[in-house]
Structure 1
């Protein structure tokens, strides 16, 4: 049986830390060593992005995150357009050995309102 994207995302979300926007903002404001990674495609990020985020599309996460976050203890917040890709990216980062990864499972517009 082939799994759908929705099924893979649902499975990932049982294995990772998912945060709503308010919880993510609190963690961001209270944490010193934190990185926000926008896992949308570069074109979407070029149109609108969070002020303090780095864009690494989900397809390049394994190759580019180690140079951005060499410390596996770095707090990483992933986000995308709706939470699905952020969840899959967070699972990948956990599998890579990052220990404090959280997916913001909200729509980009809602995240942008809070994070700027």
Structure 2
């Protein structure tokens, strides 16, 4: 029997940290965290949250190790619906990042919370 994406996301949520966009914004505003958008570049170009860095989910492992080699770096990950953010957060934890958190609200909520 195959596992559906919603079932897999529910399983992943049991092993990762997640938060609201507004709570993430509070930490990001302190200057100690990065906001990673794991959507595809064309999606990012259409609309993105202020201050977000686009690293597509398919490149997350390679790019993050190059750009953010500190395993304790505060990292908030988001996408359009929260599913890809959960997958990326789980993968970053596997790499050894200890302070990575998924934002699981829809993109509109992230954009609204991150308005300057």
Question: Shorter-chain TM-score: what band?
Answer: over 0.9
1:34: how far off?
1.0
Q: Distance in 2 between matches of 1:14 and 1:83?
A: 14
Determine helix, strand or coil for the equivalent of 2:28: helix
Partner of 1:89: 88
Calculate the aligned-residue CA RMSD, in Å.
1.1
> Tell me, which stretches of 5 or more residues in structure 2 are unaligned?
none
Query: What are the superposed Cα offsets for residues 6-28 of structure 1, whole Å, 9 maximum, x if unpaired?
Result: 11111111111110122111222
With the length of structure 2 as denominator, give the TM-score of the two structures.
Answer: 0.93
Partner of 2:13: 13
Q: Distance in 2 between matches of 1:56 and 1:21?
A: 18
Query: What are the superposed Cα offsets for residues 5-55 of structure 1, whole Å, 9 maximum, x if unpaired?
Result: 11111111111111012211122223x331110001110001111221110
Query: What are the superposed Cα offsets for residues 92-114 of structure 1, whole Å, 9 maximum, x if unpaired?
Result: 00010000000001010111011
Determine helix, strand or coil for the equivalent of 2:8: helix
Determine helix, strand or coil for the equivalent of 2:75: strand
